[in-house]
Amino acid sequence: MPPRPLLPLPALTLLLAALLLAGLGPLRAAPPLATRPHILWIVLDDIGGTFPHFGQTALATPNLDRLAREGTRFANAFLTASVCSPSRSALITGMYQTTIAAHHHRSGRGSEKIYLPPPLEPLPALLQRVGYYTCNAGDPAQTPAPGKTDYNFQWSPRLYDGIDWSTRAPGQPFFAQIQLWGGKNRNDNGRWYRQVAPPILKTLTDPAAVTLPPYYPRDPLILADWAQYLDCIRYSDWQIGQILQRLQQENLLDQTLLIVLGDNGISAAREKQFLYDGGIRTPLFVRGPGIPRDAVRRDLVEHIDLAATALAWAGLPIPSWMQGRDLFATAAAPRDAVFAARDRCDETVDRIRSVRTLQFKYLRNFHPQRPLLQPNDYKDSKPTLQRLRQLHADGQLSLLEEATLFAPTRPTEELYDLAADPAEIHNLASDPAHRATLESLRARLDRWIAETRDPGPESRQQYDSDMAAAQQTQTSPAFKNNVALMKQWAREGK
């Protein structure tokens, strides 16, 4: 059966026509193949960009600091999704995951497949066509293997030529990704923390020195879990140092456009899977030939901009359908806002959209009758969430913690002044003093939803297909119970 488009053909035609109006992005003169820069993305799993924001002054990251000195650090970089598969689907295409219908986590895994409509292609395919060697490597600490992809659309295994640039032809430029486990190192019942981290880090973070967001209690278990997360960042920084050392030894460092970013925030309660800054803010460092050194950019950027940036630096035109922008285009106006979407995560159905400016964030909850922390088998296996649920059941949380994490329903709209309230705990949506801001951002989000052809809720057929596929390996009774609860709430109109 031939691949079928994601959208009905009339809608797809309108979408592509609208995208074509943008024209081609800035085009640098195409250099000879042998002189084109190498491109390396280092993607950190479960590491967000808010850790310095909460005052983690004891967190030493010498190699990221080096990248900041030798390149450009983006202080306001954001993801368009807050969980890995839609985030990575958007990253590799330079497209909003909603536009390509890849916005539901781990979707397209059953009988209902998702296809990129022509002429859309993942970035590696565009680079392969002009002679780049493409590779995707897993975490160097593990057995050599292909790196995480987790794309929700169907893609050919020919997208990657290998798992390491050492197997390319002499003089051939490469596009490589190295997928570091990042925050997921703390997922193995403490083995990594006991056996792997101490010899490398020498000292481990003292839980008492951890600064938590204000909506978490200073509970010993939560502090210990967060300390492990900070040490995951330190360990990732060490791994980045090893990669830099290899590039230097191979005389590749100064010929390589090197980009470091995360795929979503920390897997705790209110970060990963949600559109608060803890879920969508990402570290972003860029170093390479022609990149400004020791520079801090404070304008708003989205992670879908990295595909366009890679093409531009390779001297290639940015396709008119690509929604990302070259981060270093001299004539480009800065973004006045960034957008994000949260949809189904594993078995848990949700739909949230957000628009963020430098000062304000507006969120819209399409399921306000559901609690923020809906049952979710993946999240409910995490130590922090387990402890929070126990403290909630025992009545040991503060009023703020209860209201922020365990309110039985959510407001339809949320508005936060990020300058005054970076933790996003004081909802201003009903404040008359902020009505103009609310209405402006509400309209801005409506416009983005329409312009990017956000397809919205998942069909029942797609949900059933993906849940059937997931249940082939997912044997947890909680997972099956949650699927039944999602269907019950849907019947009730929640």
Q: What is the pLDDT of residues 204-261, one digit of tens each?
A: 999 999 999 999 999 999 999 999 999 999 999 999 999 999 999 999 999 999 999 9
pLDDT at 13: 38
User: Rounded to whole angstroms, how far apart are CA atoms 219 and 277?
Assistant: 22
CA angle 179, 77, 236 (to 5 degrees): 30
Q: Is the pLDDT of residue 5 over 70?
A: no
Q: DSSP letter for 188, please.
A: S
pLDDT at 155: 98
Helices (H), 331-476: 383-393, 399-405, 435-451, 460-470
What would the pLDDT profile of 112-139 be if each residue is shown by its tens digit?
A: 999 999 999 999 999 999 999 999 999 9
37-325: what fold? Answer: Alkaline Phosphatase, subunit A (3.40.720)
Residue span(s) of the chain under CATH 3.40.720.10 come to: 37-325
* Burial bucket for residue 66 (CB in 10 Å: 0-12, 13-18, 19+): middle
Look up residue 310 and give its two tokens.
């890679």
- In this prediction, residues 346-358 reach a mean pLDDT of 98
- In this prediction, residues 4-18 reach a mean pLDDT of 38
Average pLDDT value for the chain: 92
What would the pLDDT profile of 378-436 be if each residue is shown by its tens digit?
A: 999 999 999 999 999 999 999 999 999 999 999 999 999 999 999 999 999 999 999 99
Q: Is the pLDDT of residue 194 over 90?
A: no
Q: Is the pLDDT of residue 346 over 80?
A: yes
pLDDT at 192: 87
CA-CA distances (angstroms) from residue 159 to 32, 122, 432? 23, 8, 52
Confidence band (pLDDT; 50, 70, 90) for 54?
Answer: low
Confidence band (pLDDT; 50, 70, 90) for 30?
Answer: low
Q: Is the pLDDT of residue 7 over 60?
A: no
Residue span(s) of the chain under CATH 3.30.1120.10 come to: 342-491
pLDDT exceeding 70 applies to what percent of the chain?
A: 93
pLDDT at 59: 85
pLDDT at 142: 84
User: Rounded to whole angstroms, how far apart are CA atoms 290 and 258?
Assistant: 12
Tell me which H or E stretch contains 354. Answer: strand 352-356
Question: 32 or 113, which is more confident?
Answer: 113
134 phi and psi angles, rounded to 5 deg? -110, 135
Looking at the DSSP assignment, which residues form a beta bridge with residue 404? none
CATH of domain 342-491: 3.30.1120.10
- Measured in whole angstroms, the distance separating CA 295 from the mean position of its chain's CA atoms is 23
User: Rounded to whole angstroms, how far apart are CA atoms 247 and 257?
Assistant: 11
What would the pLDDT profile of 453-467 be if each residue is shown by its tens digit?
A: 999 899 999 999 999
Nearest to 213 by CA among 405, 414, 423: 423
Q: DSSP letter for 162, please.
A: B
Confidence band (pLDDT; 50, 70, 90) for 16?
Answer: very low
Q: Is the pLDDT of residue 4 over 70?
A: no
User: Rounded to whole angstroms, how far apart are CA atoms 278 and 272?
Assistant: 7
User: Rounded to whole angstroms, how far apart are CA atoms 106 and 153?
Assistant: 10
Give, rounded to a whole angstrom, the gap between the first and last alpha carbons of the chain: 37
User: Rounded to whole angstroms, how far apart are CA atoms 242 and 180?
Assistant: 12
48 phi and psi angles, rounded to 5 deg? -100, 180
User: Rounded to whole angstroms, how far apart are CA atoms 13 and 447?
Assistant: 19
What would the pLDDT profile of 141-193 be if each residue is shown by its tens digit?
A: 888 999 999 999 999 999 999 999 999 999 999 999 999 999 999 877 778 88
Q: Is the pLDDT of residue 475 over 90?
A: no
User: Rounded to whole angstroms, how far apart are CA atoms 188 and 186?
Assistant: 6
Look up residue 371 and give its two tokens.
């609690």
pLDDT at 208: 94
User: Rounded to whole angstroms, how far apart are CA atoms 119 and 438?
Assistant: 37
What would the pLDDT profile of 293-331 be if each residue is shown by its tens digit?
A: 999 999 999 999 999 999 999 999 999 999 999 999 988
Question: 401 or 56, which is more confident?
Answer: 401
Residue 274 near residue 82, CB atoms below 8 Å: yes
* Burial bucket for residue 220 (CB in 10 Å: 0-12, 13-18, 19+): exposed
The DSSP string of 307-333 is HHHHHHHTT-PPPTT-----TT-TTPP
Tell me which H or E stretch contains 126. Answer: helix 123-128
- Please, how many CA atoms are within 13 Å of residue 84, restricted to the half-sphere of its CB? 20
Confidence band (pLDDT; 50, 70, 90) for 55?
Answer: low
Q: DSSP letter for 118, please.
A: T
User: Rounded to whole angstroms, how far apart are CA atoms 270 and 182?
Assistant: 18
Residue 88 burial (CB count, 10 A): 26
Indicate left, alpha or beta for 193 from its phi (over 0: left) and psi (-120 to 50: alpha). Answer: alpha
Residue 305 near residue 332, CB atoms below 8 Å: no
